[in-house]
Amino acid sequence: MIYLDNAGTTKMFDECVEVHRIFSCQDFYNPSALSAQSMQVSKKISETEKFFLKKLGADVGNVLFTGCATESNNLAIKGSLRNGDWEYVFSEGEHPSVFNVAQKLAQDGHVVHFVPLNSKGEVDLQALEKVLNAKTRLISIMHVSNETGAINDLVAISKLKERLCPRAILHVDGVQGFMKIPFTLRKTGVDLYSFSAHKIHGPKGVAGLYVKNKSALKELYQGGGQQYGLRSGTENVSGIMQFRKAVELIDIDKNFTHTLELKHLLNDILAKCDGVKILDFEASPYIESVIFEGVKGETMLHALNEKGVIVGLGSACSSKKAGNRVLEKIGIAKDEIISSVRISFNAYQTSEEIEEAGKVICQVYRDIKERVS
């Protein structure tokens, strides 16, 4: 089996399994309790928070550990809401866990602006500049597109915020960027940054939210007051420590270079297959969309699955819905969108695997075209 849907989830590192055993069966104590053992676990969580701050390249702030990136994004957005004549800004390319929240805000009567994407899949900075003003409370724009791999310029966005709405909060969905794209938060004006474990070979059920200034957020639900009172509930100690282990094992620069080589290798093979169009914006090496002219993407997905190659149809959170909102906003024709699949790599695949996948993809496509022609 060759797995090319890594933007949906990744295989967990084997090393995380032993970490899970230790913190579920050995150091299993509740970090909020007062025993010496519990206090040691609490200390390890605090140390891990500092570890993540360093990995994010943040000089100040805190990290909240959540149950998933959807929770992190909802906490960032809904926790930033305030009464009054405020406006909220989102890009049209956001993941459903942001975009659908933005739509709900608009339905509830908030002033919401959706900023279009340019032809490369990035947020249109000129359009963004036009909607920012002194009333802007929140700007939420993703780091790396989960559909196309397009990378938004966080520094440029931060500069617009500082010039036009310095009181605004800048939230970034960094799920497809964290530990994949070399960057450092200290060079940006990002206030909130969401990231997830299972996208980088950690466990499902744990994620993070970087918070530069805790006063910018309000709690969404009440409880025991854990995590600075912003995310009550007993921490998922095992998940948090497994998340840390996964990050410790990743070499961002080495992985970036290797994954880019894999992407180029596959694209060289697909380029020789008539009727295949690669939507590669030369952005993240981990993600791209591919169009198979005359064949539905879903048909390709199932046919490839039977041959041992797994691909995706875009965001796993909305894969059962027709169409692809992000590709449509970029200007891709509807017939091409129907014929598209998302291919996403991980840095631990081999060139031999990718070469084999490329051959299978081309052969499956040719076989289907012959049957339908």
Written as one letter, the residue type at 369 is K
Q: Is 317 a catalytic residue?
A: yes
Catalytic residue selected from 16, 25, 317, 362: 317
Reference 293, options 325, 270, 322; nearest CA is: 270
Element (H, E) at 170: strand 169-173
* Placement of tokens 């012959």 in the chain: 370
Q: How far apart are CA 67 and CA 235, in angstroms?
A: 9
Burial category of 259 from C-beta neighbours within 10 Å (exposed 0-12, middle 13-18, buried 19 and up):
buried
Provide the H-helix boundaries in the chain: 15-21, 36-56, 69-78, 96-107, 125-131, 154-164, 237-248, 252-270, 297-306, 325-330, 334-338, 351-372
Written as one letter, the residue type at 151 is I
Q: Do residues 339 and 296 touch, judged by C-beta distance below 8 A?
A: yes
Distances (CA, A) of 219 to 78, 160, 210, 269: 9, 28, 15, 50
Q: How far apart are CA 258 and CA 365, in angstroms?
A: 27
Q: How far apart are CA 60 and CA 211, in angstroms?
A: 9
Indicate the pairing of strand 192-196 with strand 207-211. antiparallel
Phi, psi of 137, rounded to the nearest 5 degrees = -95, -40
Q: How far apart are CA 357 and CA 349, in angstroms?
A: 11
Q: How far apart are CA 223 and CA 230, in angstroms?
A: 10
Q: How far apart are CA 106 and CA 294, in angstroms?
A: 38
Fill in the DSSP letter of residue 145.
Answer: -
Q: How far apart are CA 148 and CA 122, in angstroms?
A: 10
Catalytic residue ranges: 317
